[in-house]
Amino acid sequence: MKKNPVLIVLGTAAALGVLFFIILSLASFLSGSKRTSSSLPMVGADKVALVKVEGLLSSSESVVDELHGYADDHSIKAIVIRIDSPGGGVVVSQEIYNAVKNAKKEGKKIVVSMGTVAASGGYYVAAAADKIVANPGTLTGSLGVKMEFANIEKLLDKIGVKGQVVKAGEYKDIGSPFRDMTVQEKKLLQDVIDDVHSQFIEAVAEGRKLPIADVRAIADGRIFTGRQALKLKLVDELGDLDDSIRIAGTLAGIKGKPQVMEKRKKIPFLEYFKEESAAWIADVFARGINKSSVTLQYLYR
């Protein structure tokens, strides 16, 4: 009996798809299996917890919950926060920053390890730590805030569409994509931006124990390498994640090599693929299509 070539192609594609999912799941599992993984306090020696802050900061809930959990765990003496993020929402950054400060109040030593990028809101979070360790080539800084709008009035004119807004309140449609902003509206938004920018500067000055004037002088949105940031006292040392764990153990008075505790989600490979795909799509929208979204951002991009 002659086999249908279409069925053969579809069957092969399905098999390759399943194989891809399995490889993806195994790669994820193996890449995270080098360190102790647990969602519950471990019995034994004093430990260093590892918390990862990665990607666009669009939600604080999981990181804040993790930090609160470690703050209440008496076996955890220090927390290393691995930051690989360009920043994100202002409130998200502030909530994680406050959770770091809370963990310090509970007696935990906090060390930030900067990855490829720890800028804007990512640096805001780092500023609350006892020590900041960056790689020489880490991109950091970008101490600033922005709000983005799109004006599509001329595009609508070309296709014969006119946008209309019915409002109560002079500034209720501020930032409308259907028209240019007035001078008064721009000033109102600039005042908001300036206030949030000042909050950023104050947080960095407090966390890094630097004069506000010194921080304000470099808080113009520019980025720095880890080595440049060291000279500006934005970071304390140059090193990688292992160096950060060692430093955290020393600060906490742990003798010998610290035992590392890291909370990991245990999910089936299909769920992992779905989660990773959703995160990627969200990031694409955040960086591209959603540029007209009216949100305050501590974001480098």
Residues belonging to the active site: 120, 172
- Indicate the DSSP class of residue 221: S
Gap between the Cα atoms of 252 and 255, Å rounded? 9
Gap between the Cα atoms of 103 and 122, Å rounded? 18
Bridge partner list, 57: 88
For residue 227, what is the enclosing H or E element?
A: helix 226-231
DSSP 191-206: HHHHHHHHHHHHHHHH
Gap between the Cα atoms of 258 and 271, Å rounded? 32
Gap between the Cα atoms of 120 and 22, Å rounded? 36
Gap between the Cα atoms of 147 and 291, Å rounded? 9
Start-to-end CA span in the chain (Å): 59
Q: Which two tokens stand for residue 98?
A: 């406050």
Question: What is the phi/psi pair of residue 115, to 5°?
Answer: -90, -135
Q: Which two tokens stand for residue 181?
A: 């902003």
Question: What is the phi/psi pair of residue 226, to 5°?
Answer: -60, -40
Location of structure tokens 């399905």: 14
Gap between the Cα atoms of 35 and 113, Å rounded? 16
